[in-house]
């Protein structure tokens, strides 16, 4: 849909300059995707040399060493150079992105040059900027005190620079206090002042204060610029406040403050992640009509959103559109597409895309490698994932905690716990400290692979290490104990939750309800169900399914059906497991026709039965002697594309033999041919 917007724009003959609409951009999409960092990552261009006139003499500075040599010459010449000349040189070094050197040189000036010659207020402003860039906020603020002590007067630039430094450290209240002092000393805040504080407020998620400051700015008759609106809109979008972002977007245009590529990209991203595809399309149309050039961030936003929504064909169309428009996809573009291919079980295509990116001059980064490793693990090809890990090291890329956690999870899924533990040890030896998520992956691996003792040992080690365990870690351990038929131990761990400052969630209760229902202790299951309701924990589909299962085992079918029906009132939808559980209850009670009614309701809701559902119904019909009904279910099963498994064939064969042994083999062979199925050992 959105890719077609680009295509229709590029093919329109009514717009003469449309072929040149989108220019290539070098904006780098930041690590860990769209929503986690600012909208634009400004990449500093490398220093390529600069001419500098000091007094009547011209100098060409190509390297930092050139600048330092010139500084030493200026110091030796003493009175020949003014503070302005020194400031010019310091600004060149700032543009080299070496604020630490500037600080060192100013300290040298203070020792070697007379006070009345070496510095002025601009010198101090440069020094404050460098302290802030080096995160030395204490020295930056001390410099403000020194300015006043030496008889200089701080100006708007001084205050703006310090406010920026405070906002960089998320010290917004201190920045506001400095703003008040600035006004008290007779300085009028400008758009830079307000923009800096607004951006700082948005960075910490305080959009209410940012909006209030925006209104104060307007009351002071200072017209906000687009960047200020962008900061607030970006934060609102990140927080999912689409309507507020849309209102602000409309407001800025009404005030003739025109949105730019960043504004549109924020809004389009917000529309995509909230599923408002028609709104995103409208914004894209509007952007193109205004001759605002979508850049690589705009495309990456759309590609990422499409992949997340499962709209992979649209993502591929946009990738092709980027190539047609000579916009070079970057590592983020490729990582998003590789992720989409992996999620669609197209691992080989993902590998080809991985190889292709290098031929296009784009080197895979840690995120790209981790994404492909995840795809290998999803496909149970963990050895391929390990080879990618080794390839990362060969290329000088350092795997992060996500890379290791992904591979550890992969090995746990295939049951290779030794390899998972080896990776955990390697991770620690490389100086990466596993977090609660990594340890929980290993914990889960032990539990699902029948190693509850090892799981418990790891769990206790996690507690002793001082690691802050979340409810998910406890749920994994409680579930592992229940799976190992240690329900009493699971209950004791459950009772310890308040001592750890945690409250059980719906998953905790559901695990225990299911465990007690399976072992036939339904009174305990009911106790936990009622307790969760008393505590305001809302049951989910798993909870209801476990309760329905328990009631069916108690032959309380009417109550089971009543609980099943109550799910709709709680806005909780039954899934195929819930339906199958109740159908099984009916069939075991020889009420197969009630089970069939429920199966029809399931199909009407668009829920497709699985092999277990069909097997239960087949068995139910055999129980009541309706062999034709059983065969009808088998035919329906095959027509629906669900292949009967070995157990289904076995149950069917037993039923046929009991009814009419002579025809049993012929019917069985016909069914085998119809599905191309071969039984083990037949």
| H or E element at residue 57 | strand 57-61
Report d(CA 401, CA 414) in Å as an integer.
20
**158: confidence class by pLDDT, cuts 50, 70, 90:** very high
Beta carbons of 135 and 169 less than 8 angstroms apart: yes
Burial class of 203 by CB neighbour count within 10 A (0 to 12, 13 to 18, 19+): middle
pLDDT at 38 over 50: no
Residue 18 has pLDDT above 60, yes or no: no
pLDDT of the residue at 682: 41
The pLDDT, as a whole number, for residue 679 is 43
Is the model's pLDDT at 23 over the cut of 50? no
pLDDT in tens, 236-294: 988 888 889 999 999 999 999 999 999 998 998 888 877 788 888 888 888 888 888 88
E-assigned strand segments in 293-360:
none
Structure confidence by residue, pLDDT tens digits, 463-511: 898 888 999 999 999 999 999 999 999 999 999 999 989 999 999 999 9
Residue 376 has pLDDT above 70, yes or no: yes
Tokens 């100013």, residue?
106
Q: How far apart are CA 186 and CA 170, in angstroms?
A: 26
Q: Looking at residue 41, what is its pLDDT?
A: 41
Contact 40, 301 (CB under 8 A): no
| pTM of the predicted model as reported, rounded to 2 decimal places | 0.70
Question: What is the reported pLDDT for 236?
Answer: 92
Looking at 1.25.40.10, 3.40.50.150, 3.40.5.10, 1.10.3720.10, the CATH number of the domain 575-682 comes to 1.25.40.10
Question: Taking 70 as the threshold, does the pLDDT of residue 10 lie above it?
Answer: no
What is d(CA 111, CA 116) in angstroms, rounded to the nearest whole number?
A: 13
If pLDDT is split at 50, 70 and 90, which confidence band does 30 have? very low
Is the pLDDT at 2 greater than 80? The verdict is no
Q: Is residue 386 scored above 90 in pLDDT? A: yes
Q: Residues 222, 215: contact at Cβ < 8 Å?
A: no
Check if the beta carbon of residue 296 is closer than 8 Å to that of residue 264: no
The pLDDT of residue 21 is 23
Query: Would you say residue 32 has pLDDT above 70?
Result: no
Mean pLDDT for the chain overall = 85
Out of 70-79, 108-117, 638-647, 657-666, the most confident range is: 70-79
Mean pLDDT, residues 365-386: 95
> Is 97 within 8 Å of 44 (Cβ atoms)?
yes
Domain range annotation of the chain: 575-682
Residue 535's pLDDT is 93
What percentage of the chain has pLDDT greater than the value 70?
A: 86
Q: What is the pLDDT of residues 295-332, one digit of tens each?
A: 888 888 888 888 887 888 888 888 888 888 888 899 99
Q: Does the pLDDT of residue 530 top 70, yes or no?
A: yes
pLDDT of residue 151: 84
The mean per-residue pLDDT over the stretch 335-359 comes to 92
Tokens 């099943």: give the residue. 564
pLDDT computed for residue 654 by the predictor = 64
What pLDDT band is residue 28 in, cutting at 50, 70 and 90?
very low
- Going from the C-alpha of 74 to that of each of 85, 104, 312, the distances in angstroms are 9, 15, 62
Confidence category of residue 94, pLDDT binned at 50, 70, 90: very high
**Mean pLDDT calculated for residue range 342-358:** 92
Burial letters for 617-627: b for 16+ Cβ neighbours within 10 Å, e otherwise?
Answer: bbbbbbbeeeb
Residue range 40-62, pLDDT digits in tens:
444 556 777 888 888 778 999 99
Helices (H), 134-241: 137-149, 156-168, 172-184, 191-203, 207-219, 226-238
The predicted structure's pLDDT at residue 269: 85
Instruction: Evaluate if residue 27 carries a pLDDT over 60.
Output: no
Whether the per-residue pLDDT at 76 is higher than 70: the answer is: yes
Token pair recorded at residue 340: 């989409």
Contacts of 236-240 with CB under 8 Å at 24 or more apart are: 236/207, 236/270, 237/266, 237/267, 237/269, 237/270, 238/35, 239/205, 239/207, 240/270, 240/273, 240/274
The mean per-residue pLDDT over the stretch 451-466 comes to 91
Neighbour count for residue 43 (Cβ, 10 Å): 9
């Amino acid at each position: 849909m959105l890719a077609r917007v680009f295509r229709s724009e590029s093919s329109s003959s009514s717009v003469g300059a449309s072929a040149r609409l989108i220019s290539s951009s070098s904006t780098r999409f930041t690590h860990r995707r769209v929503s986690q960092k600012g909208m634009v990552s400004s990449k500093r261009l490398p220093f390529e040399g600069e001419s500098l006139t000091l007094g009547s003499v011209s100098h060409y500075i190509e390297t930092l060493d050139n600048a330092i040599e010139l500084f030493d010459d200026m110091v030796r010449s003493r009175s020949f150079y003014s503070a302005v000349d020194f400031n010019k040189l310091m600004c060149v070094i700032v543009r080299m992105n070496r604020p630490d050197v500037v600080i060192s040189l100013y300290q040298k000036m203070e020792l070697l040059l007379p006070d009345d010659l070496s510095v002025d207020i601009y010198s101090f402003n440069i020094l404050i900027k460098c302290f802030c860039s080096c995160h030395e906020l204490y020295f930056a603020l001390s410099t403000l005190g020194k300015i006043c002590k030496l008889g200089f007067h701080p100006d708007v630039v001084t205050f703006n620079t310090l406010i920026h430094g405070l906002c960089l450290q998320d010290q917004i209240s201190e920045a506001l206090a400095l703003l008040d002092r600035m006004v008290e000393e007779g300085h009028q805040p400008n758009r830079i002042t307000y923009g800096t504080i607004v951006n700082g407020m948005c960075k910490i998620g305080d959009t209410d204060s940012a909006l209030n400051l925006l209104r104060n700015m307007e009351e002071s008759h200072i017209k906000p610029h687009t960047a200020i609106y962008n900061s607030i809109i970006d934060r609102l979008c990140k927080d999912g406040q689409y309507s507020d972002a849309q209102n602000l977007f409309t407001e800025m245009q009404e005030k003739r403050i025109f949105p730019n590529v960043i504004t549109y990209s924020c809004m389009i991203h917000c529309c995509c992640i909230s599923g408002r595809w028609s709104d995103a399309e409208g914004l894209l149309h509007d952007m193109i009509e205004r001759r605002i050039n979508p850049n690589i961030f705009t495309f990456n936003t759309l590609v990422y959103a499409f992949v997340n929504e499962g709209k992979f064909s649209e993502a591929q169309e946009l990738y092709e559109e980027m190539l047609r428009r000579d916009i070079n996809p970057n590592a983020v573009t490729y990582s998003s597409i590789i992720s989409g291919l992996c999620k669609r079980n197209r691992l080989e295509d993902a590998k080809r895309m991985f190889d292709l990116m290098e031929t296009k001059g784009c080197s895979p980064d840690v995120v790209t490698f981790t994404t492909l490793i995840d795809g290998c693990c999803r496909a149970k090809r963990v050895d391929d994932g390990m080879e990618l890990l080794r390839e990362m090291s060969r290329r000088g890329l350092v795997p992060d905690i996500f890379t290791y956690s992904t591979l550890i999870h992969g090995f746990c899924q295939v049951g290779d716990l030794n390899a998972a533990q080896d990776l955990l040890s390697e991770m620690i030896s490389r100086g990466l400290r596993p977090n609660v998520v990594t340890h929980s992956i290993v914990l889960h691996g032990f539990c699902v692979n029948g190693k509850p003792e090892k799981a418990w040992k790891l769990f206790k080690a996690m507690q002793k290490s001082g690691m802050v365990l979340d409810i998910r870690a406890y749920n994994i351990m409680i579930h592992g104990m229940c799976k190992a038929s240690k329900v009493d131990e699971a209950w004791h761990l459950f009772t310890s939750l308040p001592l750890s400052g945690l409250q059980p969630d719906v998953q905790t209760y559901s695990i225990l309800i299911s465990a007690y229902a399976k072992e036939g202790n339904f009174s305990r299951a009911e106790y936990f169900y009622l307790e969760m309701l008393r505590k305001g924990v809302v049951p989910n589909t798993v909870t209801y399914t476990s309760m329905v299962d328990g009631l069916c085992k108690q032959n309380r079918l009417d109550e089971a059906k009543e609980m099943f029906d109550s799910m709709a009132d709680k806005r909780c939808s039954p899934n195929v497991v819930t339906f199958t559980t109740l159908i099984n209850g009916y069939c075991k009670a020889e009420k197969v026709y009630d089970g069939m009614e429920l199966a029809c309701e399931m199909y009407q809701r668009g829920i497709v039965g699985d092999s277990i559902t069909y097997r239960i119904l087949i068995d139910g019909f055999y129980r009541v002697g309706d062999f034709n009904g059983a065969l009808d279910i088998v035919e329906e099963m095959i027509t629906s594309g669900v292949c009967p498994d070995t157990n289904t064939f076995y149950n069917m064969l037993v039923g046929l033999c009991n009814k009419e042994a002579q025809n049993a083999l012929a019917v069985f062979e016909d069914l085998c041919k119809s599905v191309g199925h071969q039984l083990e050992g037949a």
